[in-house]
Structure 1
């Protein structure tokens, strides 16, 4: 083996077994975000029908118990359904809109702990103060979450609105023993104060 080949072989072996240091360049940029707060363009508010009992008998469980979350950013509701054809909860929650914008139903999650699926259909209504339906959102269709979400953003004017809920149970599936934990429906609304075509938003997992 001549000296030239020996030199090339030595260079090759060094390149294999000795790590090669590569220069790196990093550019650093900085931005500053100042966070403030403004009045929300819409919020949920408690309504008289959000806690409905049979008369004043406190031994009878509520048909519905609904409360807005802190600041009105959402609401929680416990509803007790029966084997009636329809279970309708009128004006269980209020919706106050302070700025005209576009409202849409972004996401619905549904789960049940009962042995059988108790809910066939569930629909949420937003009405004006005269009880006329302004918007209708199908939450559950034939026992599963509405697959056509998110809904088309629709313009909603500033003012006070009524929120109502209609539940159609699967007949013959409700347990004979009353239970307050049959199923859970989670709804996520979007509100755009600027455009009817808002970008998709990251939503929290249910």
Structure 2
């Protein structure tokens, strides 16, 4: 234990650098995933047949082992000289994020109290106004729960992205395995766990702050 502590203290600058790389990788992927998944989840509430198809596809995607997905993308993205590194890692994390974000958005909008919708319609709101002022605010806690799930999942999957040269805290685990250095592996694993817990707490506070008073 003392050896692990000494390693983390002696290499704190390097660990911090890898942490920032990890945050950048996961953060960019989740922002793009939200930009895709939330509008898609909202749209799917108008088409149940398409919703079932899309959610099934997202379910299949999340069952593909991450290392296999990286392996599939290497020859494809090599056509544009991006077979390894940051780009395939971001694409993979975007794909893995889609299920919790789309599903939670779809379910949250679908389950908004119909009486609230009727009240909004009764005061003259059009479809977009109902969505923006009534449905999304009421659905926000469930949507945020999906985003939190996607972020925490991607922090873990992001560690595997180090095996294709994407950087991040997974580098410590990768190098530790290749050198048979248990201390490095543990340092990487602990750093990833701390990052996941810290981000989850921050997102939980943000979710609480964004939740309408009447839904708390």
- For this structure pair, what is the TM-score category when the shorter chain's length is used for normalisation? under 0.3
Structure having the larger proportion of residues in helix: 2
Query: Looking at CA atoms only, which structure, 1 or 2, has the larger radius of gyration?
Result: 1
Structure having the larger proportion of residues in strand: 1
- Give the alignment's TM-score, normalised by structure 2: 0.23
